[in-house]
Structure 1
Amino acid sequence: MNKIIECVPNFSEGKDPRKVAKIADAVQRVKGVKLLNVESDPDYNRTVITFAGEPEAVRDAAFSAIETAANVIDMTLQKGEHPRIGATDVCPFVPVANITMSECVKIAHLLGKDVGERIGIPVYLYAEAANVPRRYLLPDIRKGEYEGLSKKMNDAEWRPDYGPSVFNDRVKKTGATVIGAREFLIAYNVNLDTDDISVANTISGMIRSSGRMKLNEKGEKERVAGTLKFVQAMGVDLKEYKITQVSTNILNYKVTPPHVVFEEIKKLANVYGVNVRGSEVIGLIPKGAIIEAGRFYSSEENEQNLVNVAVEKLGLSQLNKFVPDKKVVEYMLGLN
């Protein structure tokens, strides 16, 4: 049976459809790769592209996409709500079928070396491909964002794994790229019916695994753990819709599935007198996560009915229509 991996690069461009199209075309031109999803957000100024196929073809497509992004995106001009460190902000490989995580790690290293040497972009390796523990988490690498990259690269502890270690004119335009291998991550955002970003920020601090800083009885700062495991979260202002979001990355949906995140945010929002206006999945979602949500809200047994219940109860079509055949990874790959 063929080995199948997925690649989900995030690009720091979500406003210019022509630039996004050039990057997507670079993926589609590679034989043996299936383009699954292209999703842009102008407020985030970010595009998530999902594609899959056999390892070598997917690696070639990732390289081509990163090279194209470096040519069409100028980080000196880029502004957006989402944290980012470069034109291709992050590029993870995910095992899908008949392939191990260790094989995905090797692919990440090979791509990182090529991107660093052939394109001249600084590359940091993260997640399962990380060379050192402090680079395991993406937010730790991205801390300081693009604006702090020059200073970061001068720190011996934050020298790139591949590529230039000097913030030259080329790097000034492209920024850095974070490449790695990980299990399936669900980018899941919950909409709050308020334009007050402080509510989204507060709830994010309360739920994310890393927690938040709080004063104890002695008046000293201490970190309080969040309520949800394997969840990253931050508040985001969506000016286009005049709402805010609790934007999350679910790192292990089998421990903390989307419906648990949704219900926890809804409960906390209610404390602040704020209603939840549905939610959205950025990119794709595993079938297991959507089915579990359906089972949480319904006693249905039919798969299609469970999916429909999940879409309705989570409000997944509130901002953009959620089409299961285009959003569930197994359906997209014909593995259902």
Structure 2
Amino acid sequence: MAVGVRPVLVAFNVNVDESEPLVSKAAAQLIRTSGRLIKGTDGKKMRIPGMLQNVQGMGVGLPTKGICQVSMNLQDVSITPLHMAFEAVNSIAADHGVSTCGSELIGLVPLSAVLESGRWYHEDPGSANAEELVDAAVMGLGLDQLEPFDAHNSIIEWSLARNLGD
């Protein structure tokens, strides 16, 4: 018998402060692994690869919130961490004169992914415990911008511990 395993896919959306997904779509095309198609003067199409590896993405509008999002599947957060995807979108949006306004996780995320982002955003990551690193990630990524972020329900290991016991 053979068993196939892949890294946990993380559904991650970066909020972009625009009413129509113009910059969101452009950012998604620039960062996703598959990149974008361009057409030469002769009409031939060519695919230009994206900036980030193991990332699927598209720009979408959220009319009920009055913003747009770069909606991404991070297929391997050890290769493209949350903060790398967030900062890439933030940089592209800023280049277009638009700001980001936080992000959101859809479903569960591995603790290791949140801790890695916490180490990126924390002022002194070497002295921080897991809770402090998670708090730094939540603040740095703006995970609480659309609604409160419940780390104990959103982080796989903490959710399991809470619901199944230690």
TM-score of the pair, normalised by structure 1:
0.46
Deviations 1:114-170 (A, max 9, x none): xxxxxxxxxxxxxx6xxxxxxxxxxxxxxxxxxxxxxxxxxxxxxxxxxxxxxxxxx
TM-fit CA distance, 1:282 = 0.3
Q: Which residue of 1 aligns with 2:102?
A: 278
Code of the residue aligned with 1:198 in structure 2: it is L
The separation in 2 between residues aligned to 1:321 and 1:269, in whole angstroms, is: 24
Choose from 104, 112, 117 the match for 1:293.
Answer: 117
Are 1:311 and 2:138 an aligned pair?
yes
TM-fit CA distance, 1:101 = 7.7
- Could you say if the C-alpha distance between residues 101 and 261 of structure 1 is closer, same or farther in structure 2, counting changes exceeding 3 Å? farther
Alpha carbons 1:206, 1:212 under 8 Å: kept: yes
- Could you say if the C-alpha distance between residues 259 and 220 of structure 1 is closer, same or farther in structure 2, counting changes exceeding 3 Å? same
The separation in 1 between residues aligned to 2:87 and 2:34, in whole angstroms, is: 19
Compute the RMSD of aligned alpha carbons: 1.9
Code of the residue aligned with 1:191 in structure 2: it is N
Q: Which runs of 4+ in 1 moved over 4 A?
A: none
Are 1:257 and 2:84 an aligned pair?
no
TM-fit CA distance, 1:182 = 4.0
Q: Which residue of 2 aligns with 1:212?
A: 36
Identity between Structure 1 and Structure 2 (%): 39
Structure 2 segments unaligned to the other structure (5+ residues)? none
Alpha carbons 1:234, 1:247 under 8 Å: kept: yes
Deviations 1:240-293 (A, max 9, x none): 101000000000000001100000000000111100000000011100000000
The separation in 2 between residues aligned to 1:183 and 1:261, in whole angstroms, is: 17
Are 1:269 and 2:96 an aligned pair?
no
TM-fit CA distance, 1:217 = 6.1
Structure 1 segments unaligned to the other structure (5+ residues)? 1-99, 103-127, 129-180
TM-fit CA distance, 1:183 = 2.7
Choose from 148, 151, 158 the match for 1:324.
Answer: 151
Code of the residue aligned with 1:205 in structure 2: it is Q
